[in-house]
Structure 1
């Protein structure tokens, strides 16, 4: 029977903490303990510590991120789910009906869809999509545990056509950093995460507009689109949602510094959308 490698010796803790502190890691003690628990040999520990010290995100070094109590696999280069985005999942939980069809658009690691479906009391259909093949490979490992499917492609183009008009919850953690502000991001994000997951265009809302433009055709009557934005972008985001036929609502969390906009497709008898029209 193979023997598991012994953990790194306890005296290494102080040395790891000192190295991380010297590199500017604010939570050096906590990070050191995580790195020590992840390393199987002293050589592996040295590699992990050095990667963290030169600026790789802790989640990329460990290979996972804690998101709503779940250990989400995060590969190098893939967008790291932020704690503030847990607020978006909380909002979605309150709106998700039994047996819901859930789509995680711009899914990255698939953290949002995985966390939402994991927290539901019953079964749900989960579909996720991203334009970045590396993110899709990562997401497939995360959503497998909840029976989800992941597709690669540009927004709705990636989704099965059969989902048109059937989506109850559409999670869209779209990139919303204005192009001109990418250079102001922390090095961890700017250098080590895919730019396509960060850059939202000139005003940060380019991708969002593409999502809202077609949302009413993909949502079921009464279905909800939820996305995160900044506090200063919320007003224009609400206007975009309204213009594209959805009823907007804004939720915010001071504790998490999170702003979420919810757009609901009106459940109006007799309303016709592109998905309802007869096809040739």
Structure 2
């Protein structure tokens, strides 16, 4: 960029690259960049199609600034509904498990409004675990690297009050139809849910009862078209299922509850 790096210059560059919210993004880049050189590099990365959250290095989620490193799944606005549902269901001093945690945004957001809690997170992606550790460290949280429940300490069995599972639920055949920001810049394992999108969910639902405390809750997102099969998976695992939807967040959340 040869012109002085002003907001209007950045807006023009981002608009030319097809950024719909160029004005907002320009302001965020200028507010985040430490130098003109940083800002210029960030603009070029964004214009090349890199997600804004990866360019900035953070995302706003439930009022928290969540660190998001390149290659890490970005927290979606709609997932705030899942956190709100979990907060309403959580008992005092809960043990919280954030499974498929990505950046750790869900667990951090949930416990940020609590006085006493225990927070554990896990993900199979090493980059995600490193990122999550940074985000949950202020809350005393612990993050583990491995496949679903496999890396968790056995002492958590039967003690989890709230299990947040942001499982992938896009059918394999539809991943290629996703926006390039997702399919080209986020881990495939965080997007691809198998043939019908529910493979990972079924594994979580089958194991969740062994980790939940009596009266504990499993919460996850799904699409409207997948609700019936998702509910069936939860019930087959031995949990009672309910469904919550939000027009504001355009989100569907299934809650599985273990009997007391």
Structure 1 distance, partners of 2:241, 2:34, is: 50
1:36 match: 30
Give the structure 1 partner of residue 71 of structure 2: 77
Relative distance call for 1:247 and 1:10 in structure 2 (3 A) is farther
Once the two structures are superposed, what CA deviation does each residue of 1:42-62 show, in whole Å capped at 9, x if it has no partner?
A: 221110000001100000000
Q: Does structure 1 residue 253 correspond to structure 2 residue 246?
A: yes
Quick check: which has more Rg, 1 or 2?
1
Of 53, 58, 63, 2:52 maps to 58
What corresponds to 1:15 in structure 2?
Answer: 9
| SS of residue matched to 1:98 | coil
Structure 2 counterpart of 1:4: none
Structure 2 unaligned runs (5+)?
none
Kindly report which structure 2 residues correspond to 1:101-250, keeping only aligned pairs within 5 A, or say none. 101-120=95-114, 122-250=115-243
Shift of 1:94: 0.4
Separation in structure 2 between the aligned mates of residue 157 and residue 56 of structure 1, nearest angstrom: 32
Post-superposition CA distance 1:104-144 (Å, at most 9, x none) = 00000000000000012x21000000000000000000000
Q: 1:38 to 1:239 in 2, by over 3 A?
A: same
Name the CA distance, whole Å, in 2 between partners of 1:43 and 1:114: 32
- Whole-angstrom distance in 1 between the partners of 2:117 and 2:78: 24
Q: Secondary structure at 1:155's aligned position in 2?
A: coil
Tell me the TM-score normalised to structure 1 length. Answer: 0.91
1-side partners of 2:112 and 2:153: how far apart? 22
- In structure 2, the partner of 1:67 is 61
Unaligned runs of 5+ in 1: 1-8, 268-280
The CA deviation at 1:11 is 6.4
Q: What TM-score comes out, normalization by structure 2 length?
A: 0.98
SS in structure 1 of the partner of residue 34 of structure 2: coil
1:39 CA displacement: 1.6
User: Aligned equivalents of 1:10 and 1:170: distance in 2?
Assistant: 50
Q: CA deviation at 1:99?
A: 1.0
**How far, CA to CA, are the matches of 2:218 and 2:212 in structure 1?**
8
Q: Please state how far the C-alpha of 1:33 moved relative to its aligned partner.
A: 0.3
Greater than 6 Å deviation, 4+ residue runs: none
Q: SS at the partner of 2:161?
A: strand
Number of positions where the alignment pairs a residue of Structure 1 with one of Structure 2: 258
